[in-house]
Amino acid sequence: MAETSLDPISYPAAATAPTPKTSKKKQALITWQPTINNELNGDERGWERRTGSNPAPFAAAFRPENITFSDGIMRLLLNNNGCPVRCDGRQYVAGEYRSTEEPYGYGYYEARLKAPKITGAMSASFFTYTGEYGKKNHHEIDFEIFGRDTKVVWLNYFVEGRGTENQQHQQSINLWFDASEDFHNYGFKWTETELAWYVDGRMVQRVTEDPNTPEREIPFAPSKIMVNLWPGNNSPKMIGSLGQYVGQSGAAEYDWIRYSTLADAAAATSGQPASTIVAPLSATVAPPAVEMVEVELPPPLSEGELAALRIAAAALGTPEPATTITTHKLVTLGLASTNFYGFNRGTVKKNNGTYVFSAAGGQNPGFGIFVNNLVLQGQKKLTFKLAGEIKGKGNLVVQLYGNDQFKPLAIRENLVPDGEISVNLGANVERVKKIQFILRDNNGNCELRISDLRFE
């Protein structure tokens, strides 16, 4: 079970509250160059405006039209425009903005936002999320502001679906300001053993893992970064928490969203380059440099040599040799070409072009490598060298993905670390976005080295 090692901090009335600082950088948790820096200026690479809806208690559908960008500010709108026709039968429509990928794991997260006063609504949020609510694959870390009282922020987290029934992890923090009057910074630090929430750079709550209990109480699954606002459905439970919603319109405003890996944070404070980059591709991450190598095959045979081969082939009853030879290209993944990340307690480092993947006890640990929608030019397989040890009976799997993150382009299972391995891509694969290795085991344990990755 988790241990709350710091009592929730409630600041008193304004007369004795800390004096707010004026510098955005000084008030922030992330004061170094973040790994991901979304300035919300309309460049939506790596992000999306959601189309869809959630079940009760959500009383609004989410539509892209309810998200706008202007003057460096993103606004999530709540109204009833076009409802119920374009609102999945709901009376209201709102905005939800989220990352398109979910490799975001341990690190620092922060958003600068201003919440509207809308009784009955979750008027602003900033959170990570993965899985299906309340199920084993559900992990979540939350900042939430209820529009009925914008001088309070609510913190929450869920691990393997636990925490959903009675909201036992939910905690309210009295702010020293009104969140509806100006922009403020809301962030959290997430590690394997600790969750710490910050407001304007000040820690307001901290939870630590207890290693002596069987269940893990700190989220550990890579997730999407999300923000939204929405009205409650006026059920007794929602009225008790959010208040009664009477149809008020409004907008949650966001200045920026940032994420930093633990490695980049350590590098910023030490002055040394990060040895492990745990980041998805985004507008702030340089695309991989792909090395194109022309592989020259032997020159064509002379007419005399071909004639001699035809005679020999006819005598043996075998087909004639080909008279043309095609030159192919080889794509290798250069030393600085990729972004990568570990998940489910799997860790990965890169050393001179070799990915060193380790796991010790996680459920289905693995790691992914982004190759930035690499365009293939006739290559039909992925080849790499695999060495090291799989401890136990785990099934090591490699998967290749395109734009559909749920449907692999190609897959090969039961990999054995004893040499070179190839994965056939099929005739219609033209682009590859991600390569992912997973050790399917409830208690995955391995020490592996993957090197010489190339498309042929």
DSSP state of 65: G
How many Å is the Cα radius of gyration of the chain? 26
Closest CA to 120 of 80, 148, 144, 95: 148
Which H, E and C letters describe 380-440, residue by residue? Answer: CEEEEEEEEEECCCCEEEEEEECCCCCCCCEEECCCCCCEEEEEECCCCCCEEEEEEEEEE
Check 140, 160, 209, 217 and give the catalytic one. Answer: 140
What burial class does residue 396 get, using C-beta atoms within 10 Å of its C-beta: 0-12 exposed, 13-18 middle, 19+ buried?
buried
Alpha-helical (H) ranges within 280-376 are 303-316
Cβ-contact 34, 258 below 8 angstroms? yes
Compute CA 187 distance to the chain's CA centroid, rounded to the nearest angstrom: 16
Check 144, 160, 209, 217 and give the catalytic one. Answer: 144
Distance separating alpha carbons of residues 101 and 339, to the nearest angstrom = 13
Measured between its terminal Cα atoms, the distance across the chain in Å is 49
Respond yes or no: is residue 48 known to be catalytic: no
Cβ-contact 357, 451 below 8 angstroms? no
Distance separating alpha carbons of residues 142 and 28, to the nearest angstrom = 17
Closest CA to 396 of 423, 364, 422, 355: 364
What burial class does residue 123 get, using C-beta atoms within 10 Å of its C-beta: 0-12 exposed, 13-18 middle, 19+ buried?
buried
275: tokens are 């040895």
What burial class does residue 125 get, using C-beta atoms within 10 Å of its C-beta: 0-12 exposed, 13-18 middle, 19+ buried?
buried
Q: How many Cα atoms sit within 13 Å of 426 on the Cβ side?
A: 12
Backbone angles phi, psi at 22, to 5 degrees: -95, -20
Q: Does residue 270 sit in helix, strand or coil?
A: helix
Distance separating alpha carbons of residues 248 and 80, to the nearest angstrom = 9
411: which strand partners?
A: 399
Respond yes or no: is residue 144 known to be catalytic: yes
269: tokens are 């404070």
429 contact partners, CB below 8 Å, separation of at least 6: 376, 380, 400, 402, 409, 410
Q: Does residue 309 sit in helix, strand or coil?
A: helix
Query: Which residues are catalytically annotated?
Result: 140, 144
